[in-house]
């Protein structure tokens, strides 16, 4: 099967992990050669309730028995979409009161950028160094890492990058700016939370300039940081919120959320100027509704905070610079690339899936599912620590 995978599946690098998957359940992934791996990255911040969460699976079955795709997004009244959008917006601030469904994170970014340009009638966009917003052209245009941008130049014009958590050049946010886009906690940049005061200052600058503030919570959303959304802890509300990944319990789905007033602009000049065939697929929407209901009714947010506390207390010692991040969106900063590589390899041998973030090779991503129990959490952390000590 691996041979066929390498032959027929277009590859993203010369070094795919290459596990042959049999099935996945809760915090575990099982391979066809009967090995069990603890998924300590949740499929990159997707399966926050673990794999195949029973209520999500049930909702999927129920919807599959009713209907699959029936019409492009926005034309027919489909109950799973309406239920989910209702529940989602009732858990957001008042001005985030309408949802536009898409299929993925990058499509949410694309939609948000178009919406901001059309609503403001402006073109200038501000992003941040080391950010990541997706790999389609618009998203890549506001992603702050040249090595990924350079092969695709020219990208969107009039995009400017500021330093994250720095007051420098905030005056670039001016009356020509359509939007400022940022992750409240940079994910691929190395799990870097925004400073609260700085974020509030960015909001203030946007208000002054009449620019929209877009938060990309594609990675940090849906409970991963210990709040339903990371921005809640900043006392700052964005004009547009981008979501995906953990949204639908392992099904593909993305969304951007804004106000009915801002969304008006998508309806005319011309009508249908932003369409998506599969956006808000009914099976994904049913899964997302079940997933969110469960997230809100269980103690998962609190659990994310416990995971942070246990992990930060435990992972200390030689070779470790720090554990940073919030909730279960954590990064283990190690001294160098060699150590990072050895620890990831060692843990893989021991049946633990870890990885690094796209823009950093000395940081190990720790993103366990929020359903992980104490015994397993401690077991994994002990093994990571053991490996760091062995190679330091
Ligand atoms: N924004 C952020 C912050 C992300 O972490 C990601 C995915 N890693 C994306 C956007 C793109 O999401 P997708 O892969 O679903 O297009």
Q: Would you state the pLDDT for residue 263? A: 98
Q: What is the mean pLDDT of residues 239-259?
A: 98
> CATH classification of 2-53+299-391, choosing from 3.90.1150.10, 3.50.50.60, 3.10.129.10, 3.40.50.300?
3.90.1150.10
Mean pLDDT, the chain, rounded, equals 97
* 189 pocket-lining for ligand 1 (C-beta < 6 Å): no
Q: Hey, what are 135's tokens?
A: 């790999």
Could you tell me the sign of the dihedral formed by the alpha carbons of 225, 230, 232, 234, in that order? positive
* 248 pocket-lining for ligand 1 (C-beta < 6 Å): no
Specify the ligand 1 atom closest to the Cα of 107. Answer: 16
* 132 pocket-lining for ligand 1 (C-beta < 6 Å): yes
For the domain made up of 55-297, the CATH class stated in words is alpha beta
* 218 pocket-lining for ligand 1 (C-beta < 6 Å): yes
pLDDT band at 38, cuts 50/70/90? very high
Name the pTM for this structure: 0.98
Specify the ligand 1 atom closest to the Cα of 358. Answer: 8
Q: Which value, to the nearest 10 degrees, does the dihedral of the CA atoms of residues 244, 246, 250, 253 take?
A: -20
Q: Which residues pair with 102 in a beta bridge?
A: 254
Q: Where are the domains of the chain?
A: 2-53+299-391, 55-297
What's the 127 CA to ligand 1 centre distance in angstroms? 15
Q: Would you state the pLDDT for residue 356? A: 83
Q: Would you state the pLDDT for residue 358? A: 85
What tens digit of pLDDT does each residue of 110-161 get? 999 999 999 999 999 999 999 999 999 999 999 999 999 999 999 999 999 9
How far apart (Å, rounded) are the C-alpha atoms in residues 179 and 175?
Answer: 10
Pocket test for ligand 1, best of 136, 186, 224, 244 (most atoms within 8 A of CB): 244
Q: What is the mean pLDDT of residues 310-316?
A: 97
What tens digit of pLDDT does each residue of 62-90 get? 999 999 999 999 999 999 999 999 999 99
Q: What are phi and psi of 360, to 5 degrees?
A: -140, 135
Q: Would you state the pLDDT for residue 359? A: 84
Q: Do domains 2-53+299-391 and 55-297 have the same CATH topology?
A: no
What tens digit of pLDDT does each residue of 171-197 get? 999 999 999 999 999 999 999 999 999
Q: What is the mean pLDDT of residues 81-104?
A: 98
Specify the ligand 1 atom closest to the Cα of 186. Answer: 3
What tens digit of pLDDT does each residue of 318-372 get? 999 999 999 999 999 999 999 999 999 999 999 999 988 888 899 999 999 999 9
* 111 pocket-lining for ligand 1 (C-beta < 6 Å): no
Pocket test for ligand 1, best of 12, 43, 105, 252 (most atoms within 8 A of CB): 105
Specify the ligand 1 atom closest to the Cα of 254. Answer: 15
What's the 44 CA to ligand 1 centre distance in angstroms? 9
Residue 61 neighbours by CB under 8 Å, 6+ apart: none
Q: Would you state the pLDDT for residue 162? A: 98
Q: What percentage of the chain has pLDDT greater than the value 70?
A: 100
Please say whether the beta carbons of 341 and 381 come within 8 A.
no
* 221 pocket-lining for ligand 1 (C-beta < 6 Å): no
* 219 pocket-lining for ligand 1 (C-beta < 6 Å): yes
Residue-wise over 256-284: b if at least 16 C-beta within 10 A, else e?
A: bbbbeebbebbeeeeeeebebebbbbbbb
Q: What is the mean pLDDT of residues 217-232?
A: 98
Q: Would you state the pLDDT for residue 333? A: 97
């Amino acid at each position: 099967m691996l041979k066929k995978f390498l032959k027929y599946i277009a590859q993203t690098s010369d070094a795919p992990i290459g596990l042959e998957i049999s099935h996945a359940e809760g915090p575990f992934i099982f391979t066809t050669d009967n090995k069990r791996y603890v998924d300590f990255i949740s499929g990159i911040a997707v399966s926050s309730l673990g794999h195949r969460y029973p209520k999500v699976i049930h909702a999927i079955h129920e919807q599959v028995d009713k209907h699959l795709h029936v019409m492009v997004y926005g034309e027919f009244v489909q109950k799973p979409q309406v239920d989910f959008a209702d529940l989602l917006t009732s858990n957001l601030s008042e001005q985030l009161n309408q949802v536009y469904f898409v299929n993925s994170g990058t499509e949410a970014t694309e939609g948000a950028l178009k919406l901001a340009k059309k609503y403001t009638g402006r073109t200038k966009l501000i992003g941040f160094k080391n950010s990541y917003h997706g790999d389609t052209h618009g998203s890549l245009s506001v992603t702050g890492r040249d090595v990924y941008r350079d092969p695709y130049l020219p990208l969107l014009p009039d995009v400017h990058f500021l330093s994250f958590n720095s007051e420098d050049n905030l005056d670039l946010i001016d009356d020509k700016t359509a939007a400022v886009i940022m992750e409240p906690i940079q994910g691929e940049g190395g799990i870097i939370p925004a400073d609260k005061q700085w974020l509030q200052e960015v909001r203030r600058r946007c208000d002054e300039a009449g620019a929209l503030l877009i938060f990309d919570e594609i990675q940090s959303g849906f409970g991963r940081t210990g709040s339903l959304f990371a921005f809640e802890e900043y006392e700052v509300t964005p004009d547009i919120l981008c979501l995906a990944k953990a949204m639908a319990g392992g099904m593909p789905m993305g969304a951007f959320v804004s106000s009915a007033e801002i969304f008006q602009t998508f309806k005319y000049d011309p009508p249908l100027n932003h369409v998506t065939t599969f956006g808000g697929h009914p099976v994904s929407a049913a899964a997302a509704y079940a997933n969110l209901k469960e997230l809100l009714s269980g103690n998962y947010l609190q659990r994310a905070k416990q995971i942070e506390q246990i992990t930060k207390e435990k992972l200390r010692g030689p070779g470790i610079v720090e554990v940073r991040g919030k909730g279960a969106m954590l990064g283990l900063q190690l001294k160098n690339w060699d150590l990072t590589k050895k620890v990831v390899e060692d843990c893989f041998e021991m049946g633990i899936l870890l990885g690094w973030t796209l823009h950093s090779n000395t940081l190990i991503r720790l993103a366990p599912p929020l359903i992980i129990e104490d015994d397993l959490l401690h077991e994994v952390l002990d093994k990571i620590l053991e490996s760091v000590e062995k190679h330091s």
